[in-house]
Chain A
Amino acid sequence: MEIDNVVCAFCGCVCDDITVTVEEGRISEVKNACTLGRAWFLGHSSNAHRPSGTVNGRPVSTEEAVEEAARILAQARYPLIFGLTSTYCEAQKEAIALAEVLGACIDCCTSVCHGPSGIALQGVGEPTCTLGEVKNRADLIIYWGSNPAESHPRHLTRYAVTPKGLFTPRGRKDRRVVLVDVRPTPSARAADIFLQVKPGKDFECLWALRALIKGIDLEEDAVADTGVTLAQLKDLADRMQSCRFGMLCVGQGLTQSRGKQMNTTAVFLLVRELNGFTKFAAMPMRGHGNVTGIDNVLAWQTGYPFGVNFSRGYPRFNPGEFTAVDVLTRQEADAALIIASDPVANLPRPASGRLSQIPTVALETRESETTKIAKVVITTAPAGISAEGTVYRMDNVPLRLRKVLPSPFPSDEEVLSRLLERVKELKHA
């Protein structure tokens, strides 16, 4: 059976034009997806062989695993809830309610991908748009610290570089594409211009561009040791000011390098100022399928997009204090609930090591580095394959994930709802 218009939840592009073929209870073919999306659908099409749950490595029912998880979390003095980027908004909402009942810290992968973009947004605002506007209007695309050819392949072909739009009828021929990065990634082949910045010198280049578009006459010394020349930056500044609609795509090369939120603040200020000359927008290249969703849901519910602490009974936000890497590295968290994420593989060792020392509960669709160390594992249905719900594309457009395969396991939302009720009972007992 062929199912059209399926939504891919692997990366922040959230492509909603995928066709999957289901045969004999598994996905046998995937059309329209990129190589990453295709691997995601095929790799998650069956987890039926897994136990419903484990406690200390011993297979148990979902109910037993939920009971043990509730006991651990209810007893904890400073629990951490983390992950949430590869599940859907309805499940995220339950996790936030659970964090409030527990007085927990709740953080998502945003803090280790585009947290610095969120901090910059709070400071100076984010002049942005939808990917539809990019497709239909943008004639200058700048990828800065981003390698879409390997991280978001269809960003190039569906939204930003090659598609034909209302005011870009010739597609690629109507656009100029600039890549700014510290190395010539495979994305350089898709660009007309590649500027190779030295590591840690992005801020200096962005600040020089701000000066140039304000008409300030810079000396070559101003950009010495950045890897690019003043002439290259002047050319880029001219292109930015003279385009009809510019788009600056913000990659993790800016958020994870020296400068972090100062880099992204410089981007948003630059783009804000470019709107004095033309129409210009910026957008973080969000990685995980619903990382934008958890930022939105957390912001609706608490006022803050990541790193939220409920220990005083009301939400507080302070990156560096309530963010997962910090709470774990300082060995403050005494229990953890990890949802749809693999922090043991991806967080720095001083933080991930703490998860092995404390009772950790993992809701996951498949084996991961985190499930290997977790005291309690609860297997759930993969969102977008065996569970439906709302996800947010990187441009904050909500889309509905579809269920294309049955699953013997409950969804993240169902498990979190049960966990919330049981924790409430234990807290009130």
Chain B
Amino acid sequence: MPEGKLILITGRSTKQGTGLNKGKDSRDYQEAVRTLEMNREDMARFGLRDGDLVKIKTLYGEATFTCRQEKLPKGMAFVAYGSLSSRLVGGETHASGMPDSKGFEVEVVHLPRGD
């Protein structure tokens, strides 16, 4: 994995699923879709602690998430589906109708606290 890069997996989570039924402006939903999960070694590599803010960039856009340590393979990050994860996905579908929504490379930028 290149320095400063991770493979991002997007997907469903229980909190995202229950939160969207409370409303997409609800605190639960917003917390669910704004949290980026990473493994312990990667967080150390980027100098991150739980609660730190990171900017995630792709060729198509960028979004800011709050980091949380989770049990994930090294080099991988996970974020629940939502309007923030959608900002990172391109519109190319390779003649399938389906964009590349999972397993794409992202750049990680550690934002100072209070930024």
Closest CB of chain A to B62's CB: distance in Å? Answer: 10
A40 to B18, CA, bound (A): 7
Chain B residue total in the interface (Cβ 8 A): 42
CB contact under 8 A between A253 and B102, given known A39-B18, A347-B86, A349-B60: yes
> Quick check: is A390 within 8 A (CB to CB) of the other chain?
no
Residues of B close to A200: CB separation below 8 A: 103
CB contact under 8 A between A367 and B94, given known A36-B18, A199-B76, A253-B102: no
Closest residue of B by beta carbon distance from A306: B97
Closest CB of chain A to B4's CB: distance in Å? Answer: 18
A287 to B91, CA, bound (A): 21
Report the stretch among A210-218, A323-331, A333-341, A411-419 that lies at the interface: A323-331
Q: Which of A182, A325, A349 meets B87, CB within 8 Å?
A: A349
Q: Is the CB of B95 within 8 A of A320?
A: yes
Chain A interface SS verdict (over half) = helix
Q: Is the CB of B91 within 8 A of A199?
A: no
Q: A228-259 toward B: CB 8 Å interface, digit per residue (1/0)?
A: 00000000000000000000000011011110
> Quick check: is A342 within 8 A (CB to CB) of the other chain?
yes
A346 to B83, CA, bound (A): 6
- Ranked nearest first, the 8 interchain pairs of A and B with the lowest CB-CB distance are A323-B97, A329-B91, A320-B95, A350-B91, A43-B21, A319-B97, A199-B103, A39-B21
Chain A interface residues toward B at CB < 8 A: 10, 35-36, 39-40, 42-44, 107, 111-112, 115-116, 119, 147, 149-151, 182-184, 186, 196, 199-200, 252-253, 255-258, 260-261, 287, 306-307, 319-321, 323-326, 328-329, 342, 344-352, 366-369
Interface pairs (6), CB distance under 8 Å: A42-B21, A182-B9, A186-B14, A252-B102, A306-B97, A351-B91
